[in-house]
Amino acid sequence: PKMKEFSGINKLETALKEKLGVEYIIIVPGDSDRHEWIKYEMGKACVHYLKNILLPDSIIAVTGGTTIAAIADAMVPIHEENNYVFVPARGGIGEEVEHQANTIAAKMAHKTNGKYRMLFIPDILSEQSYETMMKEPSIHEILQQIKGANIVLHGIGNALTMAKRRNTPTETMEQLEKGNAVSEAFGYYFDDKGQIVHKIYKIGIQLDDLRDKNHVIAVAGGSSKAKAIASYFKKGKSNMLITDEAAASQLLRDS
């Protein structure tokens, strides 16, 4: 509609879409650095969007973090036929339980009346235990589901903030600093050109797997994440960004 074309948010969306080269953008008003509930607003926008793309037998893979957890809070029942399944995108990467992908997947399923599957894999595995676990039919089956997900919901974080939050070993911290890591998503750390500086070895969705997904939705806001969002989208394989006004304005100012 004409009215919206002239609104500030709409202009921001157009400008940011061009700048990041991303197919779809939704910007919600506010700054999630200053008001935690803006994450919930991004969550509501995400749920609204999911309603349009979710098919009864969709598989939705989710990452961890406070933003994706806020999407779970905003979830509502989506379809009558509840055959869709929520799964964690990758094994746990040192988050608190309520912000772990497993927990978030279960909560989303609960709130939408959908189903969920969890991935129980310890953070650190010897190669031998890894091989053994992969042979477990239940693990093998859920991994197939994760790889086959057609919708992926993920957060983007500031590299060093995320590394500290995950109690990253000193030598990796040094590697991230030396490599000028700016952003983090899916356990991958990227510099300002979008090059991978470091990757946490985890089973589940790998960056290359995103290529053949129909919908890869990044959700990240707050002006403190502007540089991280820009960094991730340099080579990011996500086709949608849900963010807030503060991150969007800062990102456009940065350049």
Q: Which residues bind ligand G3H (CB under 6 A)?
A: 63-67, 155-157, 162, 184-185
Tally of CB atoms within 10 A around 203: 17
Q: How far from the centroid of its chain's Cα atoms is residue 44's Cα?
A: 15
Residue with CB nearest ligand G3H?
Answer: 65
Q: Which is nearer to ligand G3H, 113 or 206 (by Cβ)?
A: 206
> Are 58 and 79 contacting, i.e. CB atoms less than 8 angstroms apart?
no
Could you give the angle at the alpha carbon of 194 between the alpha carbons of 190 and 196, nearest 5°?
A: 45
b (16+ CB within 10 A) / e for 144-174 = eebbebbbbbbbbbbbbebbebbebeeebbe
Q: Which is nearer to ligand G3H, 67 or 238 (by Cβ)?
A: 67
Shortest CB 96 distance to ligand G3H, Å? 10
Q: Which is nearer to ligand G3H, 10 or 239 (by Cβ)?
A: 239
Shortest CB 88 distance to ligand G3H, Å? 12
CA distances from 51 to 25, 139, 206, 221 (A): 16, 29, 26, 21
Shortest CB 204 distance to ligand G3H, Å? 13
Shortest CB 255 distance to ligand G3H, Å? 22
Comparing CA positions, the residue from 195, 91, 95 lying closest to residue 146 is 91
Q: Classify residue 7 by burial, with Cβ atoms within 10 Å: 0-12, 13-18, 19+.
A: exposed
Q: Which is nearer to ligand G3H, 79 or 188 (by Cβ)?
A: 188
Q: Which is nearer to ligand G3H, 99 or 117 (by Cβ)?
A: 99
